[in-house]
Amino acid sequence: MNVKIAAAQYDISFLDTWKNYQQKSERWVKDATEQGAKILLFPEYNTMELASLFPETVYSSLNLSLIEMQTVHEAFSHLFQDLAQEYQCVIQAGSFPVLISDGVYHNRAYLFMPYGETHFQDKMMMTRFENEQWLISAGDELKTFDTEFGRIAINICYDCEFPLLARKQVEMGANLILVPSCTDTVAGFHRVKIGCQARALENQCYVVQAALVGDASWSPAVDVNVGAAGIYTPVDYGFPDNGILSSGEFNKPQWVFAEIDLQNCENVRAEGQVFNYRDWSRQTGIST
């Protein structure tokens, strides 16, 4: 089944009111769905712009911004639940730093479904900044999610640089991996992009990356954001020769679109020029 997917190059904003955030979110969702998209992907830590709703003493502090953002977590969830139902689409709404227990935060990527269900995947591999400075902890469970278009999974940014995570999700049936990302250097962007393309290559599946863009000098968490969205594929018969189905203009706020069919992954695994997915197990026992 063909489905149009939209990956955001989402510009972080300084917000004066919750209404501004609500209107911005709806504008982005409406724009994508009016162009036929049924799966929407936002970038990692896009929700940190919500910290700007609070006083400077809050949004300028890594710790206080996390604490105060919990007060808008429920409103954020309701907003995207409503948008997914109103516009009848699947929305991976980026990521939100969620308080799990006393002093413990997870970087959580929510998946909002068109009939009201809400799912989530927590980030598994934390960067140095998250682990050493921001004190956000890793999750402990990999998941997959069923949609009318096929089974999908989420790798949050740095997660996609570790092949065993995506491999487990693909073995659980996922043929599409969504990668919300947030990178503050060109090198960081390319690390994630290369990770996405490698996961698409070795698993013969689709991998889609969204990117946070723009400067937010007011925020110590997401002050600089660079990158581009991309929709990546296997490199084989029926797919682009470079494995890039679509990509955006670097650092420009926009949606990046492509038509995909998750059944194509099964086809190339059976009839491809090479069998990366099938041959994975042949690595076992190789001496190093």
Whether 288 has a pLDDT exceeding 60, the answer reads no
Is 86 annotated as catalytic?
Answer: no
Can you tell me the mean pLDDT for 153-179? 98
Contact 150, 180 (CB under 8 A): no
Active site residue: 89, 157, 196, 265, which one? 157
Catalytic residue, candidates 123, 160, 161, 196: 123
Q: Is 249 a catalytic residue?
A: no
What is residue 72's three-state secondary structure? helix
Residue 282 lies in a domain: no
Task: Let me know if residue 285 belongs to a domain.
Answer: no
30 is catalytic: no
Question: CATH number of the domain that 21 lies in?
Answer: 3.60.110.10
Domain count, the chain: 1
What tokens does 50 get? Answer: 């919500």
Q: Is residue 284 part of a domain?
A: no
Distance CA 157, CA 189 (A): 9
What is the reported pLDDT for 285? 72
**Over 80: is that where the pLDDT of 177 sits?**
yes
Quickly state the pLDDT bin for 1 (edges 50, 70, 90): confident
Beta carbons of 108 and 126 less than 8 angstroms apart = no
Q: Which of 38, 44, 196, 205 is labelled catalytic?
A: 44
In a domain, 240, yes or no: yes
95 beta partners? none
Range(s) of the domain holding residue 213:
2-273
- Does the residue 20 lie in any domain? yes
